[in-house]
């Protein structure tokens, strides 16, 4: 399994602690440094069963600069959102865990991390 983290994020750190406590086998991706390409974001969205606006941090400065709140949230606008996430990875909600079985979860709570672990093993 892989977990996308920002080391400065407390929810990311607590997710890692929980994974370690459970003895999980995982790879860390610092997605602000190792930025996901649009196709990778698409693949993760498919696994999450979410749309790009569902994983966008609309309170970030970059979101305000782009005027994201005004953007359409429909199929036609989907690529525009994905391109914005790839161009401004800080906008991506975190942490995201992708499990080996093809599922993924936005692991912002202990329950969500356990969810990923439960499906994982």
The residue annotated as part of the active site, out of 2, 9, 13, 40, is 9
Helix (H) or strand (E) holding 97: strand 96-98
Active-site residue 9, yes or no?
yes
First to last CA, the chain: 10
Helices and strands (H and E) in the chain: how many: 5, 4
Which residues are within 8 A (CB) of 37 and not within 5 positions of it... i.e. 6 or more apart? 86
What distance separates the 2 farthest-apart alpha carbons in the chain? Answer: 43
Please identify every residue annotated as catalytic: 9
């Amino acid at each position: 399994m892989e977990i996308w983290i920002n080391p400065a994020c407390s929810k990311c750190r607590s997710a890692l602690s929980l994974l370690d406590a459970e003895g999980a086998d995982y790879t860390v991706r610092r997605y602000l440094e190792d930025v996901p390409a649009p196709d990778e974001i698409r693949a993760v969205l498919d696994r999450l069963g979410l749309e790009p606006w569902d994983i966008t941090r609309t309170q970030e400065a970059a979101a305000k600069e782009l005027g994201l709140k005004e953007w359409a949230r429909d199929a036609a606008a989907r690529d525009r959102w994905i391109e914005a996430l790839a161009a401004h990875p800080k906008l991506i909600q975190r942490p995201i865990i992708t499990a080996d079985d093809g599922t993924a979860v936005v692991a912002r709570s202990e329950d969500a991390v356990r969810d990923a672990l439960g499906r994982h093993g």
